[in-house]
Chains A and B, each alone.
Chain A
Amino acid sequence: MNAPSPTTPPLLEVSHLRKCFGPREVLSDVSFQVPAGTILSVLGRSGTGKSVLLKCIVGLLQADSGEVSYKGESLRNASQMATLRRSASYVFQHNALFDSATVFENVLLPLQARGTGSRQEWDAQVREVLGRLELEEAAERYPSELSGGMQKRLAVARALVSKPELVFFDEPTAGLDPLRRNAVFEMISKLQRESHFTAVLVTHDVQEALVVSSRILWLDAGRVRFDGLASEFSASNDPEIRGFRDNIEALKEALRTPVSIGS
């Protein structure tokens, strides 16, 4: 993974973001930048506000204060937010696939939404992305007829079909077994190299995230505890980060047993 040059302007910039649910402050003064062409992994324990952070960035949740900028433009009003949504995609933790639509129709919808191009061009684009993600055989099936891994690939296919500049992945490996998790990270890394999109990846999988990401953002109780290169994160002596890394490793060692997978 290439590290961004210090002069690369940030594609996405988050400044002093704060979000509360009632008296509970979930995000507190969160600021960071995402340079173009990089994969930024947002790590942290459960309940530290990682998914809330993504939803505040894309406007699914309204932040209490702070600012999000995309290509230098603040996303304060609906038209600026629409600019982000037209050039970005989002992979939901639980996929959020359209269960009444076929695999093909799920992937077609983002292209129909943009409305540029002809139906023939859209069909070709859908077939191309389904082929890349090995889903062409399942084109006429419904999401409920697919395995967990295939559903995840479908969610990624839907996110990538419109050739986005920025992709948000919200825990893309949640609920998958270790082999499928590795496959998803490999897929994200490979697709990022091919399509050169910028990615913001929320995950619990520290080791895999370190392999595919150029930058790491560590959230602790809604605050940024670490923001830097993946190599710097690996070498960090912060007791919180080191403790988390050690715990994960210990757990992985304890659970390292052969796993059989379906598709």
Chain B
Amino acid sequence: MAVARLGRFTLEKVSATGRWALFCAQALLRVRSGGEFGTRLVRSVFEIGVRCVPVIAIVSAFSGLVLGLQGHYVLARFGASGMLGTLVSLSLCRELGPVLAALMIAGQAGTALASELGIQRSTEQIDAIVLMDISPEGFLAGARLLASLLVFPSLTSLFVLIGVTGGWLSGCILMPQDSNAYWSAVHVALKSRDISECLLKALVFGLLTTSLCAYQGFNAHRSGEAGARAVGVATVRAIVLSSIAILAADYLITAALL
């Protein structure tokens, strides 16, 4: 009995993964369906990107401030205060920047996307699109997927920049660290390989987050609930799955590139 249940569960998850992959493929292959692709792309960049700038700025500033503070105390114990710039910049660029930025964007733009598509599903707007012979995947998710390729690396870069500045503020202005030593350590520590890893992670996280959130909203009617509750379930699943996917992908990419 338990084996049968496990088998059904596995088959269900494999099937859902296949549907998600098909959803992504159709979204990208039929991205121009419905016309006005340029307008939709610009709108998507605004919704996913520009609207997330404040939250990215706030979270990155505090992340940098905390890193600078903690780094100062920890490194001082080992007589390595001069390494603060290295610690802050590498932590933010290789790990914290891509992961925290992606989690913040998933929390703001991802949930908005899932609930928007969920409502469009429950009010038959997606059916109306289908009956106009428009690919709903391409029309509703395609431009957003492409926008995420632009937005996630940009916002991640912004996160790292503000974070490193925050680290300097807490380490060198609020604490007695030397500014020149800090920036010099940042300059020496950051290699193009670190920046490439940062941007690669941002691209992967962007595609994962946007596609999972769009897929969950698009398939809100499959959640086992109906109406407003189905939208709620889809939104919760979108953020939970996105967060898990971001952390899992982070581990896999880090392991592969180390």
Contacts and interface: CB of A to CB of B under 8 A. Distances in A.
Q: Do A and B bind each other?
A: yes
B131 interface: yes
A112 B39 CA distance: 13
B128 to A, nearest CB: 4
A85 B133 CA distance: 6
B210 to A, nearest CB: 18
A94 B132 contact: no
B82 interface: no
B125 A99 contact: yes
B51 to A, nearest CB: 15
B35 A115 contact: yes
Contacts of B133: 82, 85-86, 113-114
B212 to A, nearest CB: 22
Contacts of A58: 131
B34 A90 contact: no
B57 interface: no
A18 to B, nearest CB: 22
A54 B120 CA distance: 20
B131 A112 contact: no
A11 B119 CA distance: 34
Given A85-B133, A86-B133, A110-B132, A92 B35 contact: no
A96 B35 contact: no
A78 to B, nearest CB: 10
A92 B36 contact: no
Contacts of A100: 116
Given A85-B131, A85-B133, A90-B131, A112 B124 contact: no
Interface string A67-98: 00000000000000010011011101010111
A235 interface: no
Candidate in B35, B116, B130 with the most chain A CB atoms within 10 angstroms: B35
A59 B35 CA distance: 23
Nearest to B132: A113
A97 B127 CA distance: 11
Interface string B141-176: 000000000000000000000000000000000000
A158 B119 CA distance: 20
B113 to A, nearest CB: 12
B128 A90 contact: yes
A109 interface: yes
Contacts of B134: 109, 113
A60 interface: yes
A50 B123 CA distance: 19
A94 B36 contact: no
A113 B123 contact: no
B36 A112 contact: yes
Interface in A108-167: 109-110, 112-115
A88 B130 CA distance: 12
Interface in A234-252: none
B132 A96 contact: no
Candidate in A86, A90, A94 with the most chain B CB atoms within 10 angstroms: A90
Contact of A113 (B34, B119, B125): B34
A110 to B, nearest CB: 5
Contacts of B124: 92, 94, 96
Nearest to A81: B133
A190 B124 CA distance: 27
A82 to B, nearest CB: 5
B127 A60 contact: yes
A27 B134 CA distance: 28
B129 to A, nearest CB: 8
Contacts of A86: 133
Nearest to A87: B133
Contacts of A85: 130-133
Nearest to A168: B131
Nearest to B116: A100
A172 B132 CA distance: 18
A57 B77 CA distance: 75
Contacts of B130: 59-60, 85
A98 B140 CA distance: 12
20 contacts: A60-B127, A60-B130, A85-B130, A85-B131, A85-B132, A88-B131, A89-B131, A90-B128, A94-B124, A96-B123, A96-B127, A97-B125, A98-B120, A98-B128, A99-B123, A99-B125, A109-B34, A109-B132, A113-B133, A115-B35
**Which 3 A-B residue pairs are closest in the complex by CB-CB distance?**
A112-B35, A96-B124, A85-B133
Given A85-B130, A96-B127, A112-B35, 20 more contacts: A59-B130, A60-B130, A85-B132, A85-B133, A89-B131, A90-B128, A92-B127, A92-B128, A96-B128, A98-B120, A98-B128, A99-B119, A109-B34, A110-B132, A112-B36, A113-B33, A113-B34, A113-B35, A113-B134, A114-B133
